[in-house]
Chain A
């Protein structure tokens, strides 16, 4: 079975500081992994996705994530936080054995302190 765990439901960083949002997955086969961002009262927008082409994936708005099979992790990072990064972030997993379903983590709310 597929599942995703996001450690830390709330993360606060200072403007200009490193952003690190954690995501661990469980899967019996290599998964496809996604990070989405959600601003208040809006739908989810894709930030980036891992498709096995490269372990370091670059996304929009300066975010990137690294797939580490040995750690079953896909953490999201950004070198320097901006006020506009304040939002809810969701990690999701899909794959050939999920029946075309996505499994989402419970989300991490990012606060950026000026």
Chain B
């Protein structure tokens, strides 16, 4: 089955620790996105990438980093600089065909701070 996988489902971070969230897609989509979801705030864009080895900051990129070494993979690292990382993180992807291409979402990773 084609789709987007995120792992782990739950992740615990200690103070001062960097953690990496995995996102993989087998839909052959060009663009991939990371969102942060907090209660009552909807989805906020962290980073996105439209092509391998290139990515752009979203609205809340501070304290996060990404890489796009392969088309299928777009891992997100939550660094120790992110002081309030507790949230639900969603990865998404879509084709870039110039039209109303749907953005598809993974199941999410919930990050908690110990």
Contacts and interface: CB of A to CB of B under 8 A. Distances in A.
B110 to A, nearest CB: 7
Interface stretch (B14-22, B61-69, B72-80, B99-107): B99-107
Contact of B90 (A9, A44, A49, A92): A44
A101 B34 CA distance: 11
B23 to A, nearest CB: 11
B contact patch SS: strand
A32 B108 contact: no
Contact of B102 (A9, A34, A42, A90): A34
A74 interface: no
Contacts of B2: none
A105 B92 CA distance: 16
Contacts of A45: 105
Contact of B96 (A41, A42, A100, A107): A100
A94 B99 CA distance: 9
B111 interface: no
Interface of A: 9, 32, 34, 36, 41-46, 49-51, 90, 92, 94, 96, 100-102, 104-107
Given A43-B4, A51-B99, 13 more contacts: A9-B40, A41-B108, A42-B107, A43-B105, A43-B106, A44-B92, A49-B102, A90-B43, A94-B100, A101-B45, A102-B103, A105-B42, A106-B40
